[in-house]
Structure 1
Amino acid sequence: MARGKIEIKKIENNTNRQVTYSKRRNGIFKKAHQLSVLCDAKVSLIMFSNTGKYHEYISPSTTTKKMYDMYQNTLGFDLWSSHYERMKETMSKLKDTNNKLRKEIRQRVVGDDLDGLDINDLTILEQQMQDSLNVVRERKYHVIKTQTDTCRKRIKNLEQRNGHLRLDYDTISQLDKKSGMVENEERYESTIAYSNGVSNLYGFCAQPNNNASELGYEPHGPNCHLT
């Protein structure tokens, strides 16, 4: 049964279009390979799909560069000359931009290369430097304010911690005075002052008596107990 003719127009369905491209691409590459082998021809085939995918077929005995060179020699046309000229033009523009930026840096940083500037140029340069100075000054004040706020928060935390330690000290001091645990007030205070450097460490200098045992204090050594 003969195959029906296919109307040659763009396939609107994306999936069908991609499937058709893959099948026909493989068919073209197969024909190119046969032409290269049967006729000893130099074949170069480059294809791009509608999604930008690159596919290429080159005869086994050649390379893409050799094909370009053969094309140029046959037509007497240099494919690279126009591209080289565009590259030179781009490099020249980049050099001009770089020199301009270097000159501006010298003018703003060290006050150099000012001889060619008139009064208007100098005024504009002065205003630009003033604007830059304002930006730097604002950033400096922002950093100072941030550091100051951080220090204030640390001081507040330390004050709160100190208040808690003082409250703990007063509570334990009143408890020990009532129970007769404190034998030497100065020694007790120095022990508490030392313990303030370590969180939740309290020192007791106690007499081993019945009141202490009732309160749950078990002295170690002659007079002192650390918890």
Structure 2
Amino acid sequence: MVRGKIQIKRIDNATNRQVTFSKRRKGLFKKADELSVICDSQVSVLILAGSGKVYEHNSGSTTTKQVIDQYQTTTGIDIWRTNYEKMQDYLKKLKEKNRSLRMQIRQRMGEDLNDLSFEELHTLEEEMDTSVRVIRERKFKVLSTQISTTNKKYQQAVQVNRLLTDGIKQDDSDYGLVGSGGDYDSVTTYSNGIHDIFALRTQPNQPNQSESVLTSCSENWRVAKF
């Protein structure tokens, strides 16, 4: 059975592409070993996958560095120096970018402005105005959120206080809340600027001694502080 010709193009399906990569990588490494044994040669294979992972295979006891060093000796090409020069160029670009960023930061702090032209100063001013506007919008948004959260907590506290007050009135009919004013001014006090409220309960067998209790704190009265 004749195998159909496969069109050489990128496989769109990621799963199929990974399966094909694994199979062909193993086949390539096998061919490298066969070539090394049959032809008595040193073979080193490097594969850089699309994911960024590096696959390395060497024939016999040789290493990739040994093969590359022998290649440089034979061809007279210094691969490491070329790579070193590329790294130096890249480092120089990074330093220049870092210097430029530091200069921009200092200019936004009001420093190193003497060398800027009028147009550059105008552009810098517009950029800073835009930044200030964005910061203020964010600040107002955060402040509004905090105010809204505080109001919700306050309303919840008021609701809880109302429920507790109603529960006290319903659960104990012997006690009542006494406010300021009227005939109860004598039982309201102030402590550290806070208005204290008392609840009073009289004994059922002595209904007519309210005045004496308020003045002498008779044992027949119970005073509870809320």
Normalised by the length of structure 1, the TM-score is 0.62
Unaligned runs of 5+ in 1: 178-184, 190-202, 210-221
Change (3 A) 1:91 1:103: same
2:73 aligned with 1:73: yes
Map of 2:59 onto structure 1: 58
Q: Report % sequence identity.
A: 30
Change (3 A) 1:65 1:102: same
More helix by share: 1
C-alpha separation between the residues in 2 aligned to 1:54 and 1:164? 72
Change (3 A) 1:23 1:56: closer
C-alpha separation between the residues in 2 aligned to 1:102 and 1:131? 20
C-alpha separation between the residues in 2 aligned to 1:100 and 1:66? 42
**Aligned residue pairs, count:** 183
Map of 1:121 onto structure 2: 120
More strand by share: 2
User: 1:1-227 residue pairs with structure 2 within 5 A?
Assistant: 21=24, 24-25=27-28, 27-32=30-35, 34-35=37-38, 39=40, 41=41, 43-46=42-45, 48=47, 54-60=55-61, 62-109=62-109, 111-172=110-171, 175-176=173-174
- Give the conservation status (yes or no) of the 8 Å contact 1:21–1:49: no
How far does residue 102 in structure 1 lie from its aligned partner after superposition?
0.2
Unaligned runs of 5+ in 2: 176-183, 189-198, 206-219
C-alpha separation between the residues in 2 aligned to 1:22 and 1:93? 36
C-alpha separation between the residues in 2 aligned to 1:8 and 1:99? 56
Structure 2 residue identity aligned to 1:160: Q
Q: Could you say what the CA RMSD is over the residues aligned between the two structures, in angstroms? A: 4.2
C-alpha separation between the residues in 1 aligned to 2:141 and 2:45? 59
Encode CA deviations 1:85-122: one digit per residue, 9 max, x unaligned.
Answer: 2222221211111111100100102x111010111111
Change (3 A) 1:119 1:83: same
How far does residue 26 in structure 1 lie from its aligned partner after superposition?
5.8
Change (3 A) 1:11 1:63: same
Encode CA deviations 1:112-140: one digit per residue, 9 max, x unaligned.
Answer: 11010111111111111111111111111
